[in-house]
Structure 1
Amino acid sequence: MNTSAIQATGAPKAVGHYPHARRVGALLFLSGIGPRDPQTNAIPGNVYAQDGRLLDYDITAQIHAVFANVRAVLAASGARWDNLIDVTVYLTDMARDFATFNALWAEYFPDPARAPCRTTVGIDALPTPIAIELKCIALLED
């Protein structure tokens, strides 16, 4: 089977030793993508205390950033936003952030019949102080 790993220069560096995506036949599997800025590695909307503790975050800023990072990986892989077929969403505060995520999702995918399938999971933490991460699968066109 034909497989190839993709590293996207327009997306933030991976937190571990893995590719941004892997193509397997006509499917593209994206590793978990967060909202970190690809140039600075900063997390949009995070507010820190002087001692470095995270005080607050702006989920709207992080949602827009994570969608931009997914687009960058898709583009580097030869795919488009419309090629997404399945998205798993990880939120660190489901009670606080789900409604905002749902509203922005509807802006990015206005037609539910054309939107990818989606699962949203509430989790305790992610490897860096981010509030959201996406795991995506896309169908590539030949």
Structure 2
Amino acid sequence: MAKNNEPLNSDKAPEPVGLYPHARRVGHLLFLSGVGPRERGTKKIPGVELGAAGSILSYDIEAQCHSVFKNVKAILEDAGSSWANLIDVTVFLTNMQDDFATYNRIYAEYFQENQPCRTTVEVNKLPTPIAIELKCIATIGD
């Protein structure tokens, strides 16, 4: 379980791409850094095909959604929280026009029981060649 105001890094979620923790607990709140769909221990991104120069040739938003939700769940559980304790989710998409309907359908599958506040925004680019990233806040017990 995450201790108050100490950084937490999950051994199940992908390694951060910079100098930041996966999460930090403050009182009864758990703040997650931006979480993407990469797989732990590799630079592999589910559903992404990259060209020789690292440009995105194609991507599957559905595969990325499932992967990012799995990564968020792993961080929450490693911190002593859970999916049901999510209270706020900010979602960053790189292509709102093409991806929102698919993302929204998959999001609804994962949030049938718990319905946290949600904000979805389109961004021009994310730090790695991904199409979705989540920033979350959850509650956590003593």
TM-score class, shorter: over 0.9
1:45 maps to what in 2?
A: 47
* 1:39 shift after superposition: 3.1
Q: What is the aligned counterpart of 1:27 among 5, 26, 29? A: 29
CA offset digits 1:93-135 (Å, max 9, x no partner): 0001111111001100114xx3111000001000000000000
Residue 124, structure 1, aligned to residue 124, structure 2: yes
Residue 54, structure 1, aligned to residue 56, structure 2: yes
Residue aligned with 1:69, SS: helix
CA offset digits 1:26-59 (Å, max 9, x no partner): 0000000000011322011011234443111000
Tell me which stretches of 4 or more aligned residues in structure 1 moved more than 2 Å. 48-53
Q: What is the aligned counterpart of 1:89 among 91, 99, 104? A: 91
Aligned counterparts of 2:83 and 2:12: Cα–Cα separation in 1: 15
Aligned residues: 139
Identity of aligned residues (%): 58
Aligned counterparts of 2:54 and 2:5: Cα–Cα separation in 1: 41
2:135 maps to what in 1?
A: 135
CA offset digits 1:53-101 (Å, max 9, x no partner): 3111000000000000001110110011001000000000000111111
CA contact (8 A) 2:55 2:129 kept: no
List aligned pairs for 1:61-80, cutoff 5 A: 61-80=63-82
Stretch of structure 1 that moved more, 46-55 or 89-98 = 46-55
Letter in 2 for 1:41: K
The alignment's TM-score, normalised by the length of structure 1, stands at: 0.93
Q: What is the aligned counterpart of 1:104 among 87, 106, 116? A: 106
The alignment's TM-score, normalised by the length of structure 2, stands at: 0.93
Residue aligned with 1:89, SS: strand
